[in-house]
Structure 1
Amino acid sequence: MSEQGDFFNPAHVADPLKDTRPDPTYVDPQSVREELTAILAVAKAARDTAPWDLRTHRYHQVVFPQMSNWLPPEEAEQLRRQFALELERIEPMVRAAA
């Protein structure tokens, strides 16, 4: 007899209902790192004028710390501290522009 598998054996039949989409809960830490670093760079570069409006400032104030949770704890904490310092520094500029 040939080595051909049994056509009627369920082990050889693909599950048509199986979800083959990528895992939506997976977040690439490198892409998060790049995005947070870019936002931090914009904040650090602000000298005389606000880098964004008050609404965006508040958005970053909430979302940046949440996004950092996808990184290793030590790295996340360091980024959050740096960003908090920058937010404190640029907040007067943002409020003056509002």
Structure 2
Amino acid sequence: MSDAADLFGHRPMQGSLFGEEEGRMAAPRRDVLPDPQDVRSRLHALLARARAAEAMPWSERDARMWQTVFPNMANWLPADEADQLRFDFAREMERLSRAA
């Protein structure tokens, strides 16, 4: 954002709140990547909870959330491992949904 006056002679009172670069807004940068071992541990814990349950261990809302979040979290792992975890989790969720 420049300090140039607009057509009415007004100047901006402060800089951009949105991190403009070269006149365009930039998306926030995320320089920190999740640790694959932390992701792996979390996914295995969720899968173990599902496997140990005889009925859905989460509320309907939380179950829907995990059906979205689990596959996305798996994206941080190597492709073969991620695919297997997604498959196993989907199979357990299907089993649990039939048990209800």
With normalisation by structure 1, the TM-score equals 0.67
The reply on whether 1:45 has 2:52 as its aligned counterpart is yes
Aligned equivalent of 1:89:
95
Q: RMSD between aligned alpha carbons?
A: 1.3
> How far has the Cα of 1:24 moved from its partner?
4.1
Return the alpha-carbon distance in structure 2 between the equivalents of residues 50 and 67 of structure 1: 20
> How far has the Cα of 1:92 moved from its partner?
3.2
- Runs (4+) of structure 1 exceeding 2 A deviation are none
Structure 1: which 5+ residue stretches go unaligned?
1-22
Structure with greater contact order relative to length (CA < 8 Å, sep ≥ 6): 1
Return the alpha-carbon distance in structure 2 between the equivalents of residues 65 and 46 of structure 1: 20
With normalisation by structure 2, the TM-score equals 0.66
User: Partner amino acid for 2:43?
Assistant: L
Structure with the largest fraction of helix = 1
Identity, in percent, stands at 51
